[in-house]
Amino acid sequence: MAEHAVATVGEIREGKRKIVQIGKISIGVFNIKGEFFAIKNICPHKGAPLCKGSVQGMYVCGDNLDDVRLINEGEILRCPWHGWEFDIKSGKSIIDPNRYYVKNYEVTVDTDQPADAQVETFPTSIREKNVIVHV
């Protein structure tokens, strides 16, 4: 399994994403509450650029109609074309998780591999942790 440094930790802020190209594969890398997740940027329904969709949570009802609450906030990705929803962490469809899913990739944060150094006006360099996608 090849490793690809796609961003520094500070580059993808919490609640944000970065879409990267690794070879012929477009992948969305998401920061959910400080954890990084990567999924293929193609909706299995009609091939839409899935990772350009909105990120939200999911409303669920309890035993009565007054008991509505938001869960998994910032973890559900909605396709921009037809609204299909997927769990960013697992890649599974919200409606039919056993039938529809999006390929997800292992992501690690590599503290040993330095990012490209950024040099300021004084002889100082800044190193950040890299976000690594394993394809």
How many percent of the chain have pLDDT more than 90?
Answer: 67
Instruction: Look at the block and give the residue holding tokens 């299995």.
Output: 44
- Which whole number is the average pLDDT over 49-78? 91
Q: Is the pLDDT of residue 69 over 50?
A: yes
Q: Output the DSSP codes for 5-29.
A: EEEEGGGS-TT-EEEEEETTEEEEE
Q: How high is the pLDDT of residue 119?
A: 36
CB 32 within 8 A of CB 74: yes
The CATH number of residue 26's host domain is 2.102.10.10
Q: Is the pLDDT of residue 120 over 50?
A: no
95 near 44, Cβ under 8 Å?
no
The more confident residue out of 125 and 59 is 59
Q: What is the model's pLDDT at position 1? A: 77
pLDDT at 97: 93
The confidence band for 59, taking pLDDT boundaries of 50, 70 and 90, is confident
Give residue 87's domain range.
3-134
What pLDDT score was predicted for residue 134? 85
pTM tops 0.85: no
* Higher pLDDT among residues 129 and 55, named by residue: 55
pLDDT beyond 90 at 2: no
pLDDT value at residue 113: 52
How many distinct structural domains can be found in the chain? 1
